[in-house]
């Protein structure tokens, strides 16, 4: 037993109770009815940071949701770690598929079940408790800053502006983020890449109002039929995205790096079994991990129009819509991609309908080096705790603000995630194993220790 595991053992239940307090706040950023909950979650974080031993913590107002900032500066000559996390969560629907209520956390089979249990309340809380541990045991080896936002799940619009306005306040030597995953429970891993994202909404309009499908059927173009056809044309038979110019800026990954990435353990059978599919799908010439790690993708997130209620209603709908997200790789620009999509999609529209494309939000992709002090520190911390060396891998997910941190603050992020694919983030029955929560709290203080060591090596 070390001072780390001793402290965790002595405070286990309280850590969990405090995390549950945060989870119980339904801070869904995409739904305006939850505005008051965003503030409650920010207040909760402020108190958490202060109670853990910060010198100060403040809530910063933005045009959107508040940002929580806190710090403990022990010596300005020492390096500074900036912790980033988000207190906002995704909507809970389809709510009827949850086995327990999404905002009443419950422990079953050693896992916390709740919206935000992993993404990102459970994961970010690891940092609050690791910070507390270091302060209370007198082992904090450097300065710490916290920056916790409430708009990650909707594109981090306010944080982008706030970072640009607060560069001095955010001065730091590394940003640490736990909002990604590991390859598997027994395969610790460090995320070295994130995909960018570009989100759009499309609307296809036909007649001025819904029409009787008997009186007009066969004589007037149906916007739902047309939207389906347009969407179907966005991929070719090899799984390639057909938006003109889509691949122009894709950073191709060389054979050597592909070989390196292929070393990360992966079982196609288990993958298929875990989501109950018979066959995988994707761009010809790439493996499943390459398809999510180093290649872009286009997916419809939702599609609606016409009558979807009980029984039948024989109409030709006046309109049809869809939400589409494009996952991007380094070098692809999300604004340019949204523009390419817009002109391509508009060009697909037949004369019978009008098409409107509205870009929503997005962010650039990210790759992190593995020869940096922070990677070495994370590598040592994870190896020591797991007894196994971590595997670097590129994740298919996106955290739009990470590339902004690099551009605006000039600071790299280390993506030390503790989530598992089975955590069902964004899905019903999201969960987070207690063991990952506590193990995270064990790893983070070691990361700080090794980061300060690696950092001073680099300076001397
Ligand atoms: N925590 C996720 C991102 C993530 C999950 C990265 C697992 C890697 C592995 C984050 O909260 C998220 O869901 N981001 C959104 C961003 C989008 C809404 C702009 C995403 O990836 O869909
Ligand atoms: Zn998320």
Mean pLDDT of the chain: 97
Q: How far is the CA of 414 from the centre of ligand 1 (A)?
A: 15
Atom of ligand 1 nearest to the CA of 419: 7
Kindly state whether residue 273 falls inside one of the protein's structural domains: no
Kindly state whether residue 423 falls inside one of the protein's structural domains: yes
Strand partners, 190: 392
From the list 20, 17, 113, 146, the residue with the least C-alpha distance to 444 is 146
Task: Give the residue, out of 397, 422, 426, 431, with the most ligand 1 atoms within 8 A of its beta carbon, to mutate for a pocket test.
Answer: 397
Q: How far is the CA of 319 from the centre of ligand 1 (A)?
A: 30
Please say which residue of 345, 362, 379 terminates a domain.
362
Kindly state whether residue 282 falls inside one of the protein's structural domains: no
Do 144 and 132 share a domain, yes or no? yes
* Alpha-carbon gap, residue 87 to 122, rounded angstroms: 10
Do 246 and 392 share a domain, yes or no? no
Do 184 and 149 share a domain, yes or no? yes
* Alpha-carbon gap, residue 182 to 29, rounded angstroms: 25
Name residue, tokens 């000039």. 410
Q: What is the CATH number of the domain that holds 62?
A: 3.40.630.10
Please say which residue of 362, 379, 410 terminates a domain.
362
Do 134 and 240 share a domain, yes or no? no
Q: Is the pLDDT of residue 390 over 90?
A: yes
142-171: buried (b, 16+ CB within 10 Å) or exposed (e) per residue? bbbbbbbbbbbbbbbbbbbebbeebeeebe
Q: What is the pLDDT of residue 460?
A: 79
Domain count for the chain: 2
Kindly state whether residue 91 falls inside one of the protein's structural domains: yes
Cis peptide before 120 (omega within 30 of 0): yes
* Alpha-carbon gap, residue 239 to 253, rounded angstroms: 18
Q: What region does 195 belong to: left with phi over 0, alpha with psi -120 to 50, or beta?
A: beta
Give the pocket of ligand 1 (CB within 6 Å).
119-120, 152-153, 155, 179-181, 194, 197, 395, 397-400, 419, 425
Angstrom CA distances, 369 to 56, 102, 105, 116, 154, stand at 32, 37, 37, 29, 27
Do 66 and 80 share a domain, yes or no? yes
3-class secondary structure per residue, the chain: CCHHHHHHHHHHHHHHHHHHHHHCCCCECCCHHHHHHHHHHHHHHHHHHHHHCCCEEEEECCCCCCEEEEEECCCCCCCEEEEEEECCECCCCCHHHCCCCCCCCEEECCEEECCCCCCCHHHHHHHHHHHHHHHHCCCCCCEEEEEEECCHHHCCHHHHHHHHHCCCCCCCCEEEECCCECCECCECEEEEEECEEEEEEEEEECCCCCEECCCCCCCCCCHHHHHHHHHHCCECCCCCECCCCCCCCCCCCCHHHHHHHCCCCCCHHHHHHHHCCCCCCCCCCCCHHHHHHCCCEEEEEEEECCCCCCCCCCEECCEEEEEEEEEECCCCCHHHHHHHHHHHHHHHCCCCCEEEEEEEEEECCEECCCCCHHHHHHHHHHHHHHCCCCEEEECCCCCCHHHHHHHHHCCCEEECCCECHHHCCCCCCCEEEHHHHHHHHHHHHHHHHHHHHHHHHHHC
CB 416 within 8 A of CB 443: yes
Angstrom CA distances, 304 to 23, 197, 346, stand at 31, 22, 19
Cis peptide before 81 (omega within 30 of 0): no
CB 337 within 8 A of CB 249: no
From the list 396, 413, 19, the residue with the least C-alpha distance to 177 is 413
Q: Is the pLDDT of residue 1 over 80?
A: no
Q: What is the pLDDT of residue 247?
A: 98
User: pLDDT grade, residue 436 (50/70/90)?
Assistant: very high
Nearest ligand (C-alpha, residue 193): 1
Do 353 and 372 share a domain, yes or no? no
Do 392 and 369 share a domain, yes or no? yes
Q: What is the pLDDT of residue 400?
A: 93
Do 371 and 454 share a domain, yes or no? yes
Atom of ligand 1 nearest to the CA of 325: 22
Q: Is the pLDDT of residue 458 over 90?
A: no
* Alpha-carbon gap, residue 79 to 173, rounded angstroms: 6
Do 376 and 307 share a domain, yes or no? no
Kindly state whether residue 61 falls inside one of the protein's structural domains: yes
Do 55 and 157 share a domain, yes or no? yes
Kindly state whether residue 147 falls inside one of the protein's structural domains: yes
pTM: 0.93
Q: What is the CATH number of the domain that holds 324?
A: 3.30.70.360
Q: Is the pLDDT of residue 317 over 90?
A: yes
Minimum mean pLDDT among 114-118, 181-185, 352-356: which range? 181-185
* Alpha-carbon gap, residue 110 to 72, rounded angstroms: 33
Do 388 and 430 share a domain, yes or no? yes
Q: Domain of 171?
A: 2-194+365-459
Q: Kindly report the CA angle at 38 between 162 and 366, in degrees rounded to 5?
A: 45
- Closest residue to atom 7 of ligand 1, CA basis: 180
Q: How far is CA 308 from the centre of its chain?
A: 31
Q: How far is the CA of 136 from the centre of ligand 2 (A)?
A: 31
99's tokens: 């086995």
CB 98 within 8 A of CB 115: no
Do 95 and 207 share a domain, yes or no? no
- Closest residue to atom 19 of ligand 1, CA basis: 155
CB 103 within 8 A of CB 26: yes
67's tokens: 């940002």
Please say which residue of 362, 385, 408 terminates a domain.
362
Give pLDDT tens digits for 28-87.
Answer: 999 999 999 999 999 999 999 999 999 999 999 999 999 999 999 999 999 999 999 999
- What length is written for the chain? 460
Atom of ligand 1 nearest to the CA of 327: 21
Kindly state whether residue 264 falls inside one of the protein's structural domains: no
Q: What is the pLDDT of residue 374?
A: 97
Q: Kindly report the CA angle at 48 between 405 and 381, in degrees rounded to 5?
A: 60
Q: What percent of the chain has pLDDT over 70?
A: 100
Name residue, tokens 């009815």. 33
Q: How far is CA 434 from the centre of its chain?
A: 20
Q: How far is the CA of 360 from the centre of ligand 1 (A)?
A: 16
Kindly state whether residue 272 falls inside one of the protein's structural domains: no
Q: How far is the CA of 398 from the centre of ligand 2 (A)?
A: 8
> Looking at residues 350-377, what average pLDDT do you find?
95
Atom of ligand 1 nearest to the CA of 118: 1
Give pLDDT tens digits for 212-228.
Answer: 999 999 999 999 999 99
Q: What is the pLDDT of residue 25?
A: 98
Name residue, tokens 């419809």. 300
Q: What percent of the chain has pLDDT over 90?
A: 97
Q: Is the pLDDT of residue 144 over 80?
A: yes
């Amino acid at each position: 037993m070390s001072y780390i595991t001793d402290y965790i053992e002595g405070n286990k239940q309280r850590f969990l109770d405090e995390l549950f307090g945060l989870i119980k706040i339904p801070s869904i950023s995409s739904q305006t009815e939850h505005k008051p909950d965003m503030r409650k979650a920010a207040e909760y974080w402020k108190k958490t940071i202060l109670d853990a031993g910060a010198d100060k913590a403040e809530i910063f107002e933005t045009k959107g949701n508040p940002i929580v900032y806190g710090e403990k500066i022990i010596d300005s000559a020492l390096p500074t770690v900036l912790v980033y996390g988000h207190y906002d969560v995704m909507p809970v629907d389809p709510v009827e598929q949850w086995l327990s209520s999404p905002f009443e956390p419950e422990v079953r089979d050693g896992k916390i079940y709740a919206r935000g249990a992993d993404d990102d309340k459970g994961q970010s809380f690891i940092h609050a408790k690791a910070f507390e541990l270091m302060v209370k045991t007198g082992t904090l080896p450097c300065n710490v800053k916290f920056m916790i936002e409430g708009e990650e799940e909707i594109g981090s619009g306010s944080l982008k502006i706030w970072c640009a306005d607060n560069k001095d306040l955010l001065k730091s030597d590394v940003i640490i983020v736990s909002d990604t995953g590991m390859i598997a429970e027994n395969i610790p891993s460090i995320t070295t890449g994130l995909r960018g994202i570009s989100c759009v909404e499309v609307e296809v309009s036909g007649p001025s109002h819904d029409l009787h499908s008997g009186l007009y059927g066969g004589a007037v173009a149906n916007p739902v039929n047309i939207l389906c056809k347009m969407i179907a044309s966005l991929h070719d038979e090899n799984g390639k995205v057909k938006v003109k110019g889509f691949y122009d800026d894709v950073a191709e990954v060389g054979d050597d790096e592909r070989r390196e990435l292929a070393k990360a353990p992966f079982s196609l059978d288990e993958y298929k079994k875990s989501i109950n599919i018979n066959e995988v799908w994707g761009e010809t010439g790439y493996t499943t991990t390459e398809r999510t790690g180093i290649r872009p993708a286009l997916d419809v997130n939702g599609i609606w129009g016409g009558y979807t209620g009980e029984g039948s209603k024989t109409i030709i709908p006046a309109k049809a819509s869809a939400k589409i997200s494009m996952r991007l790789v380094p070098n692809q620009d999300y604004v340019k991609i949204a523009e390419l999509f817009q002109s391509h999609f508009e060009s697909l529209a037949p004369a019978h309908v009008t098409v409107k494309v509205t870009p929503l939000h997005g962010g650039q992709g990210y790759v992190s080096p593995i020869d940096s002090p922070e990677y070495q520190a994370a590598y040592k911390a994870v190896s020591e705790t797991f007894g196994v060396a971590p595997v670097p891998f590129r994740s298919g997910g996106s955290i739009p603000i990470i590339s902004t941190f690099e551009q605006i603050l000039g600071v790299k992020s280390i993506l030390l995630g503790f989530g598992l694919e089975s955590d069902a983030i964004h899905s019903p029955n999201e969960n987070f194993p207690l063991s990952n929560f506590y193990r995270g709290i064990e790893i983070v203080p070691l990361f700080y220790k090794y980061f300060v060591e690696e950092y001073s090596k680099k300076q001397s």
